[in-house]
Amino acid sequence: MRAEETMLTRQRKVEIVEQLQQKLQRARGIYLVDFVGMTVADSRELRKELYPKGLEYRVAKNTLIRRALQSIGDHTELEPYLNGQTGLVLSYDDAIAPARVLRDFIKRMEKPRFKAAVVEGQLFDGTE
């Protein structure tokens, strides 16, 4: 049974990487945030603010995000920011929309912490 559980875990990881690949390829804006200190209610509230604007918030292991980035061969400049707790905010239409929502949310809640973003192919990090 232990081997079967491991196989399922590996299979699930492969599925997650494939989903991330599809989402990252479609995204016009990819924002990385550190969600340390956020409660489930905080995450739910953030999703509630992102969803009506066509934005998606996704949490995944850094190694799976890194694999997805490497396999599509794009946005690898985000790899140095894949440490700690990482949440992805993805925009498929308006690449700047997540910046506005995150700015307002962070101002009000003081979390999550912005790590970096790739917007229309340009890298922005927490210093900008």
Burial of 94 (0-12, 13-18, 19+ CB in 10 A): middle
pTM of the model: 0.89
How far is Cα 102 from Cα 49, in angstroms, rounded to an integer? 9
Do residues 33 and 114 touch, judged by C-beta distance below 8 A? yes
pLDDT at 7: 56
Q: Is 126 helix (H, G, I), strand (E, B) or coil?
A: coil
CATH of the domain at 8: 3.30.70.1730
Sign of the CA dihedral with 105 first, then 108, 111, and 113 last: positive
**Tally of structural domains, the chain:** 1
Residue bearing the bigger pLDDT, 58 or 126: 58
Q: What is the pLDDT of residues 9-41, one digit of tens each?
A: 888 999 999 999 999 999 999 999 999 999 999
> What's the mean pLDDT in 100-115?
96
Domain that holds residue 72: 2-125
